[in-house]
Structure 1
Amino acid sequence: MANIEKRTDSNGATSYRVRIRRKGHKTQTATFPRLTDAKRWAQQTEAAIIEGRHFVATEAKRHTMGELIERYVRDVMPTKKAGSQATQLQQLAWWKARIGEKTLADCTPAFLAECRDTLSREPIPSLATVPAPDAPERLRSPATVNRYLAVLSHAFTVAVKEWGWIESNPLLKVTKPKEPRGRVRYLSDAERERLLEACQAGGNPDLYLAVVLALSTGARQQEIMGLRWGQVDFARRVAILEETKNDERRALPLTGLALERLRERAKVRRLDTDLVFPGRVHPSHPVDLRTPWETALKRAEITDFRWHDLRHSAASYLAMGGASLAEIAAILGHKTLSMVKRYAHLSDDHTSAVVERMNARIFGDGGK
């Protein structure tokens, strides 16, 4: 029940204090300069308590962002893939250090938009022991800022759906930085030949086979390095990926040189591990190819090229070979066509041929 008390201070100013007490609920109080405002707040608040809507607003004032992040790390983070945990823990540590003391009620869309802008402007700490004095400041890219926002947004969503700490996710009202168009860097025929020769000449049997698999299947580096013999079906000529980035099962077609080299390796595979690419010292972990990969790039005189660009190369070859965007998406394991539209310009000849066949069919030879 609401109780409104009229008060007069030493200067003669009048105010109205509202106190709402209901069994099973924390007492709510507020002060207003006008009686009409006090009555309106009392009516709305009592109605919210009766309907069960006021609980969330109260919880948002009781819990801090630090509490939210700590609970998320303890209860939700262990359910995520090991590969993403380290990065997301680092991102959440940034949020906790900046806004950990704020209550959830304080974290409005406007406040979080300011945090987004701080993320974009803040220089990234150098990893070098002694940073070069003239080294330019490195800022977070729009894509990186969006990853910071994404992990916090998921924490808010869990707090809404499962914990009842807040009524809605405030980050849903915060605009994400616009990311540049996806990079398309693929190997020319000459570059591909030089790279494969360099991989073979380097004396690392793992590197050559891994690069051939990446170019022939478009698989991600983690998918290739984590491949196990139990996933390889030589009879069907496929490698089954049970765990992928999109959490969907996918089959990698094995053919040509990749299939031939994989069969050769199967004849001399190690017996102390099921990994196709086991580490030398720790066979239970995949081998680290960073050094031989960088060495091969230098020998092949290839610049501005990363391992993930092998995946772009495979997709580009598919597009230039006439594969449709839907077919490329299925091979690469993308859920939507948006990720593969970057290769559309490479399949112009194929698109033109499709239109030409359609015109010939409806207009006859004169439609060519």
Structure 2
Amino acid sequence: MAAINKYTDSKGLTSYRVRVRLKGQPVQSATFKRLTDAKKWAQQTEAAIREGRYFNKSVSQKRTLSELIDRYIERVMPQKKVSTQVPQKSQLEWWKGEIGALSLASVDSSRIADCRDKLTDEGRSPATANRYMAVLSHCMSYAQRDLQWIERNPCHDVRKGKESRGVVRFLSNDEIGEDGKVLVKGERTRLLEVCKASTCKLLYPAVLLAMSTGMRRGEQFSLTWRQVDTHTGRILLEDTKNGERRVVVATGPALAELKGMAKVRRIDCDLVFPGQRNTAIHLNKPWYAALKAAEIEDFRWHDLRHSFASELAMSGATLAEIAEAMGHKTLNMVKRYAHLTEGHISSVVERMTSRVFGGDS
């Protein structure tokens, strides 16, 4: 039931204090200048509590976005993979710097949209802006479902930026003449030659392995020797992007490099590619130096993975086979390589036509 008490202060101003008490529920209270507003609030609040849809907005007015982000980093972030924590913490710190001082009640869809636009205005891609939006949305969902600090996630009302399908950048192969000799060295050959001559002894095997297996950077540089079977070339990947274990196979030169590395591996560190302090090695400096020496432009480490997938496609692998080799659960992510499989599809259709109808088509 609701109780309304009238108060008059020393200046003669009147106010009405409302308290709504229902069995098994906390007392809700508010103060109004007009009796009609007090009665209206009491009626609406009592009905909302009975129907299980009441939210105390005073909580969202007292808590700031910075408080929420700090709580999220402390309680939720440690449950995520380390490779995920690093970029998301940085993104959340950006949000704190922009609108962290605001109360959660003030962080509405329009403010979030303004921040989204600022990200792109500063030169970040729509895809990157969407990643910033996603981690904030996770934060807001935590505030809504676990903490009950907000009634609704405002990020759900903000439009995401349109992401490009992405450009498939892969290394070019050698140009071969009719006599079988190399006319022009392709990017692949040039890059491997430069990496092999690098003073960083781990650069060549790292590039070769990425090129030969399609492993993600995080998967490769967290790799330990207990995950590698140098006899069969089987590599068990445990810390994958989709959270599932998968197996890749190193063959040929990549397997030979692994066998050679295993013979002289460090006994104080189980990492396949260790740095100086028993952590994964950072190859940025020798990697960029190699790209420059090999005269290769607009190429990232991740593009070695694209090169692996592209070579699979041009070697006749189906999209399903490419997805399995890349560790994708669906075919959506490998449709970008579909145009490279057209020759293979054509030959399959030709073989079917010949078998069904006989002779040449």
TM range (shorter): 0.7 to 0.9
The residue type paired with residue 132 of structure 2 is Y
> Which residue of 2 is the match for residue 302 of structure 1?
296
Give distance in 2, aligned partners of 1:214 and 1:106: 47
The residue type paired with residue 291 of structure 2 is L
- Of 142-151 and 58-67, more deviation after overlay is shown by 58-67
Find the residue that maps to 2:322 and give its secondary structure. Answer: helix
> Which residue of 2 is the match for residue 336 of structure 1?
330
Give distance in 2, aligned partners of 1:260 and 1:216: 12
Superimposed CA distance per residue, residues 223-262 of structure 1 (whole angstroms, 9 cap, x where no aligned partner):
2222111000234421101111222111111211111221
Distance 1:64 1:323, change over 3 A: same
Superimposed CA distance per residue, residues 347-366 of structure 1 (whole angstroms, 9 cap, x where no aligned partner):
111222344445556x5238
Give distance in 1, aligned partners of 2:224 and 2:150: 44
Deviation at 1:40, TM superposition (A): 5.4
Deviation at 1:31, TM superposition (A): 6.2
**Residues 185-196 of structure 1 mapped to structure 2, 5 A cutoff:** 185-189=169-173, 190-196=186-192
**Counterpart among 222, 238, 241 of residue 234 in structure 2:** 238
The answer to whether the 8 A contact 1:213-1:258 is kept is yes
Distance 1:198 1:31, change over 3 A: same
**Counterpart among 335, 358, 364 of residue 357 in structure 2:** 364
> Which residue of 1 is the match for residue 285 of structure 2?
291
The residue type paired with residue 292 of structure 1 is P
> Which residue of 1 is the match for residue 249 of structure 2?
253
> Which residue of 1 is the match for residue 154 of structure 2?
170
> Which residue of 2 is the match for residue 275 of structure 1?
271
Give distance in 1, aligned partners of 2:346 and 2:33: 72
Distance 1:57 1:365, change over 3 A: farther
> Which residue of 2 is the match for residue 223 of structure 1?
219
**Counterpart among 119, 124, 138 of residue 140 in structure 1:** 124
**Residues 51-200 of structure 1 mapped to structure 2, 5 A cutoff:** 51-55=51-55, 57-121=57-121, 123=122, 139-189=123-173, 190-200=186-196
- Of 24-33 and 146-155, more deviation after overlay is shown by 24-33
Give distance in 2, aligned partners of 1:294 and 1:258: 21
The residue type paired with residue 22 of structure 1 is R
Deviation at 1:18, TM superposition (A): 7.9
The answer to whether the 8 A contact 2:20-2:46 is kept is no
User: Are 2:46 and 1:27 equivalent residues in the alignment?
Assistant: no
The residue type paired with residue 75 of structure 2 is D
The answer to whether the 8 A contact 1:231-1:239 is kept is yes
Give distance in 1, aligned partners of 2:200 and 2:120: 41
Deviation at 1:270, TM superposition (A): 1.7
Superimposed CA distance per residue, residues 112-153 of structure 1 (whole angstroms, 9 cap, x where no aligned partner):
2222222222x3xxxxxxxxxxxxxxx111112111111101
> Which residue of 1 is the match for residue 315 of structure 2?
321
The residue type paired with residue 103 of structure 2 is T
> Which residue of 2 is the match for residue 345 of structure 1?
339
> Which residue of 2 is the match for residue 212 of structure 1?
208
Deviation at 1:216, TM superposition (A): 0.6
RMSD: 2.7
Deviation at 1:289, TM superposition (A): 1.7
Residue segments in structure 2 that go unaligned for 5+ positions in a row: 8-13, 174-185
The answer to whether the 8 A contact 1:21-1:28 is kept is no
Query: So what's the TM-score if we normalise by structure 2?
Result: 0.85
The answer to whether the 8 A contact 1:226-1:286 is kept is yes
The residue type paired with residue 328 of structure 2 is H
Distance 1:209 1:114, change over 3 A: same
Give distance in 2, aligned partners of 1:335 and 1:56: 42
The answer to whether the 8 A contact 1:218-1:312 is kept is yes
Give distance in 2, aligned partners of 1:187 and 1:199: 14
> Which residue of 2 is the match for residue 262 of structure 1?
258
Distance 1:46 1:358, change over 3 A: farther
Find the residue that maps to 2:358 and give its secondary structure. Answer: helix
Distance 1:28 1:350, change over 3 A: farther
Find the residue that maps to 1:248 and give its secondary structure. Answer: coil
Deviation at 1:173, TM superposition (A): 1.8
Give distance in 2, aligned partners of 1:296 and 1:108: 47
Residue segments in structure 1 that go unaligned for 5+ positions in a row: 8-14, 124-138
Superimposed CA distance per residue, residues 193-216 of structure 1 (whole angstroms, 9 cap, x where no aligned partner):
111111112243311111110111
Query: So what's the TM-score if we normalise by structure 1?
Result: 0.83
The residue type paired with residue 184 of structure 1 is V
Give distance in 1, aligned partners of 2:131 and 2:32: 39
Deviation at 1:191, TM superposition (A): 1.0
The answer to whether the 8 A contact 1:18-1:42 is kept is no
Give distance in 2, aligned partners of 1:269 and 1:177: 46
Give distance in 1, aligned partners of 2:232 and 2:56: 55
